[in-house]
Structure 1
Amino acid sequence: MDMNYEIEQIHLSRIHFDIIHRMGSLLFMFCATTEKIEESSENIQWYKEGDSRRDNKDRMKESGRMLNGYRDNLEELMIIGISKAVEDLIFEYDDTFDVKVNFWNNLKRFEFYHEMTIIRNLNNCIKHSKGILKRGEKGNDYLIDEIGFTEGEKVKNLHIDIVDYLLKSFLFQMDVYWKSQKKDNPYLKYKNDSKKLKKILIPDFINDKKPRE
């Protein structure tokens, strides 16, 4: 067998694993952190007997502000992470096969490219405009004019469906991976089955709790 072919297949296998690893890590992080935030919200001692009404009110306001801040920051971090995952895939093709890929020019034919342009532009908004949709930045103009987001809106207030975008990013990357080899993307058959996609990214055994001794 051709040694070069074998080496290429090893590299491709690594890229395939990296896609699953990156997106699985993001999904696990988002779900686990969200669960912890909600658990904290339920367990906060909003009212403490013996404290003044003012102290209780201040504590409630501060606790609510902190929890909302955690949720907002988590959402922005996930947008950055999803965007970076696409950038990492592009880098891998460049670094491994010396294939120059431009996201904006070369990847339009792949499934869920549209959703990834939204994520990439939201990421740029977070990085360059402090997460505020201000005109003057090309990406912000696109989000306002083409997607319909409100000018002056904060990314954290858009409350996009992070899990949906994360799963579509996984499918997009796999589309690039398989179709660049002139093969069908086997994961696309699950594009309407989020439960199955989540199981691919986070196997059941990860969620199995080890019994306490």
Structure 2
Amino acid sequence: MSNYRKRMFRGAKIEDCILDFIDMEKELTRSIKVTAGDERLLLSGMSKAYRMIVNRLVSEFDYSKGGVAMDIKLTELIESLEKRSLDAKEKSNFNEMNILKGGFYDEIPDEAKEEIKKIPLELQKGLFEGMSIAYEKIMIDLGLILKSEDVDKLSHTERLSVNYQRMADMLKEKFELDKTDYRSGYLQGEASAYQMVGEEIQMIFHMDE
């Protein structure tokens, strides 16, 4: 393609195309979850085709590595983490008796009720608060990458994923599973958040391929 045509089509028009193909890929991903057999194979093939088109557009029109698609995925992940952080923070303010006395009491299996009663309040509170705080820290890290003008945001995100796995391993060494106090719960919650998001980043950005 000539430099003139690249200049003419670069920017908003190509971004719109990329966004459209990403939206179509998302819609196919949702459909794939509820289909089977030949239809599932067909939809999977179409989804991969849309992803190839996005990657080609990003490369052809000189976008930075990851480009628009990278920013969109980072934004979606940050928004998801924000919801998870708020949810964990809200749960940290409840205890097992609030749950058992709530409107869903009859829907909870008897075995689960007994298990809930065994969870010490301090452990439960620490667990959710640890998760909430870790999510907030991760959101800051990802937000800095999103706002960065660096041409290779993907590499920075990949390094974050590796660091989160290391942090999870380090935190796991600081608590004992048989401890039921706030500190143990907090460390377990923090470790689980870093591990889950680290693995999620690798999956979202196809780093394990």
Both structures adopt the same fold (TM-score exceeding 0.5): no
The structure with the greater share of residues assigned to helix is 2
Structure with more relative contact order (C-alpha pairs < 8 Å, separation 6 or more): 1
With normalisation by structure 1, the TM-score equals: 0.31
